[in-house]
Amino acid sequence: MSSEPVSEPKSEAAVEQLQALVQRRLNGRVRDLRLVVRDQGLILQGRTSTYHVKQLAQHAAIEITGLTILANEIEVR
């Protein structure tokens, strides 16, 4: 898998593809993962069982998209 940032998504299908890439990188450890794309960057949403995975999700999203993380709203339960 390339570590080159993906160009900014233009469609819902592109966002779904990015979500799938991030989820694959995390081996499915974030439930209901959602990337919300804003002009300034990304908002991460979903649920996980550890703060470590929450942090991994943030790093994976940055590496894959090249976009800034505006908020990491992944809930740790």
Give the range of the structural domain holding residue 71, as residue numbers without chain letter: 12-76
Q: How many domains does the chain have?
A: 1
Distances (CA, A) of 3 to 31, 46, 49, 55: 23, 23, 26, 18
Q: What is the pTM of this model?
A: 0.83
In this structure, are residues 41 and 32 in contact, taking their beta carbons and an 8 Å threshold? no
CATH number at residue 27: 3.30.1340.30
pLDDT at 11: 84
Residue 1 lies in a domain: no
For 20-50, the pLDDT digits (tens) are 999 999 999 999 999 999 999 999 999 999 9
**C-alpha dihedral sign at 15, 17, 22, 28:** positive
Q: What CA–CA distance (Å, rounded) separates 72 from 51?
A: 11
Residue 35 lies in a domain: yes
Percent of the chain with pLDDT over 90: 82
